[in-house]
A and B are shown apart, each in its own frame.
Chain A
Amino acid sequence: MPLNDHTVKAFDEDIGQLRGLIAQMGGLAEHAIAAAMEALRRHDLESAREIVAGDKRIDALQIEVEQLAVRIIALRAPLADDLREVVAALKIAGVVERIGDYAKNIAKRVPMIESHGEIEPLSVLPAMSALAVQMVHDALDAFAARDATAAVEVCDRDRQVDDFYNSLFRVLVTHMMENPKTIGQVAQLLFIAKNLERVGDHATNIAEMIYFAATGTHMAERDRGDIPTS
């Protein structure tokens, strides 16, 4: 939907800056998840350490978003769709920060999983990860475009991530029963799968906020499928 510029140009600049920060945060979080999964696959401890350290940058950006959003509310007194967008940005920043934390959490588990090659279900995790990361990516694109339709599409995909998780849960539990030696490491994988499932949920939350910001109404309660087995 094309929007007219504000009469006060500085307002458009502030909103543009806010969107830029969200896009930057989202890019970093998206990359962190993908990189953490790659570090896991290659058992790359150095890369894992970098990801853990890099999370600070996302945290710092979240603070920047909060400060800018509060400043916009105080100085510009935004209304209607402007207000909804600023509130959404504030909430999205919090959610993206959480996604960053999950990336950090996955990276921290990399040293604990050594014999990854022997654990067959590990091969499914990258596909699940790619799906969750793509959801985050598309949600942030929808934010940039104020696109409610794209936001709904992101939400619809959460079911696939949940399905991945539910089947992975069963496979990993079976694996643990059959190979009790590996329980410690496979439990780590289970946590990672859970983290990815949460990333999908968070992408869904972002999409719901975008929908509200763009339309002023809440996305109708959708069937979220079976409650995950944990």
Chain B
Amino acid sequence: MSIPNQSKISAQHVNVWYGAKQAIADVSLDFGQDHVTALIGPSGCGKSTFLRTLNRMNDTIAGAKVEGDITLDGENIYSPDMDVVQLRARVGMVFQKPNPFPKSIFENVAYGPRIHGLAANKPQLAEIVEKSLRRAGLWDEVKDRLTESGTALSGGQQQRLCIARAIAVDPEVILMDEPCSALDPIATAKIEELIHELKGRYAIVIVTHNMQQAARVSQRTAFFHLGTLVEYGATSDIFTNPRQERTKDYITGRYG
């Protein structure tokens, strides 16, 4: 199957089971290289489960079974030849709660490049750390205290540190699972601004419960319901003129 140029990750007929319970049913979605794609839907609709299939995070969950084709640049990520550690470097992830390592700010960012052998020497490593922290919009706030613990930062700073950590290994795709749900509005705005800055450099897929956030940060929106993909389209269309009744009821707050 030919992959369109703009499609970075392509998921075709994906089914996911947790034991006997089917969490995702026949979902096909392509993610563009230059887009931020938002996955929205009520709790339990499968959006996070689907996100986690994109870098095989479900592998770590006992009883989870994934079927279907998911390709990154045309390469099947569930192929036995796929190096999962390598895959997760190429497809980075940022979680709901910031989870910095209990190490220094510097080490948090340096860890990935070091284990992946991305730096030949210390100055190069320092350069990667600075570049990553700058891209994550955190450098100016932490440059004088790189040796302090990452856990000493504020919640919003910790989340940007986690984004810097994901960026440090030079990923192609960044997955974000409700990255702002634990943050205050100002920290949220900074993350959203950061997503805007990162757009184009990385393909970004974000799961969010905040409809306004999906509208603000994404160019494409996919609405999930009961494990199925109900509607996928340009964000501006989904929020002004959704095609499906279920999408409309959900985004206008008439759900259920």
Q: Do A6 and B248 form a contact, CB below 8 Å, given A79-B239, A84-B240?
A: no
B252 adjacent to A77 (CB under 8 Å): no
Neighbouring A residues of B251 by C-beta, 8 Å: 79-80
Instruction: Out of A7, A84, A216, A217, name the residue touching B253 (CB < 8 Å).
Output: A7
CB distance from B242 to the nearest CB of A (A): 5
A77–B254 contact, CB under 8 A?
no
Contact (Cβ within 8 A) B254 A3: yes
- Pick the most buried of B215, B241, B253, B255: most chain A CB atoms within 10 A of its CB: B253
Number of interface residues of B (CB under 8 A): 16
- B25 touches A (CB below 8 Å): no
Known pairs A77-B212, A79-B211; A216 contacts B252 (CB<8 A): no
Decide yes or no whether B249 CB sits under 8 A from chain A. Answer: yes
> CB-nearest residue of chain B relative to A83?
B240
Tell me if B's interface is mostly helix, strand, loop or mixed: helix
Interface status of A81 (Cβ within 8 A of chain B): yes
- Which of A5, A8, A82 is the most central at the interface, judged by chain B CB atoms within 10 Å of its CB? A82
* Interface residue? A4 (CB, 8 A): yes
Q: A5 to B256: give the CA distance in the assembly, Å.
A: 9
Which residue of chain B has its CB nearest to the CB of A4? B254
Give the Cβ gap from B231 to chain A, nearest Cβ, in Å.
Answer: 11
Provided the pairs A77-B212, A80-B241, A80-B242 are in contact, do residues A5 and B252 lie with their beta carbons within 8 angstroms? no
Chain B positions 194 through 206: 1 when the CB is less than 8 Å from some CB of chain A, otherwise 0? 0000000000000
Known: A77-B212, A80-B248, A81-B248. A7 touches B239 (CB 8 A): no
Contact indicator B240/A6 (Cβ below 8 Å): no
Cα of A80 to Cα of B243 in the assembled complex, Å: 10
Contact B254 A6 (CB under 8 A): yes
Which residues in chain A, 59-102, are within 8 Å of chain B measured between CB atoms? 77-84
CB pair B241 A79 closer than 8 Å: no
User: 8 Å CB contacts to A: which residues of B201-256?
Assistant: 211-212, 215, 239-242, 247-249, 251-256
A1-31 contact mask (Cβ, 8 Å, vs B): 1 or 0: 0011111100100000000000000000000
Other A-B pairs beyond A5-B254, A7-B254, 10, CB < 8 Å = A6-B254, A11-B253, A77-B212, A79-B215, A79-B239, A79-B240, A80-B240, A81-B248, A82-B252, A84-B241
What is the interface of chain A, defined by CB distance below 8 A to chain B? Answer: 3-8, 11, 77-84, 216-217
